[in-house]
Amino acid sequence: MELSINGERRALPSGSDDPAMPLLFALRDGLALTGTKFGCGIGQCGACTVHVDGQPQRSCLVPVGSLAGKAVRTIEGLAADRIGAALQRAWIAHQVPQCGYCQSGMLMAAAGLLARTPRPSAADIDAAMTNLCRCGTYPRVRAAIGSAAAELAGARRP
Ligand code: FES
Ligand code: FES
């Protein structure tokens, strides 16, 4: 079985190619893309968030057999576009991570938000950012999303 990951066709090795295999484990164990984290395994924490056809998805709940013809993007591919690159800069500027464990999922959720809603309100951010952070980085996450949105809006001006 092959998947489209970060713009490349990647063959899943034996052991990761059962159609019922959660994408999270295929990424981490089959393809060594360990930036996507395993938190709860039941769709609650968001640590495993990736994009499937541009939409944030919790990869612990996505069987690889459902991904034929779809494009998966992981944290390793985040900075390949302007939204991801802006978020990466904002995360650094605001020193968002503490332990860092939840941050891949936070960034992927934030990238999905800014793709849908370039200038999100505080309510938009709260609605989109349902990821859990044991270190309590929520205020810095919100501030960094605002900074990235402002930078991107500025870059769009003629
Ligand atoms: Fe997937 Fe927690 S590991 S939502
Ligand atoms: Fe530690 Fe979020 S930075 S869990």
10-59 pLDDT, tens digit per residue, is 999 998 889 999 999 999 999 999 999 999 999 999 999 999 999 999 99
Query: How many other C-beta atoms can be found within 10 angstroms of the C-beta atom of residue 52?
Result: 17
Interval between CA 135 and ligand 1 midpoint (Å): 17
Amino acid 158: pLDDT: 47
118-151 pLDDT, tens digit per residue, is 999 999 999 999 999 999 999 999 999 999 999 9
Distances (CA, A) of 113 to 32, 33, 107, 127, 150: 27, 23, 10, 10, 14
Ligand 1 proximity of 25 Cβ (cutoff 6 Å): no
Number of H helices, E strands in the chain: 6, 5
Which amino acid does the sequence have at 88?
Q
Ligand 2 proximity of 104 Cβ (cutoff 6 Å): no
Domains of the chain (ranges plus CATH)? Answer: 2-77 (3.10.20.30), 81-156 (1.10.150.120)
For residues 79 and 85, the answer to whether their CB atoms sit within 8 Å is: yes
- Ligand 1: atom nearest CA of 60 is 1
Question: What's the CA gap between 15 and 26, in Å, rounded?
Answer: 9
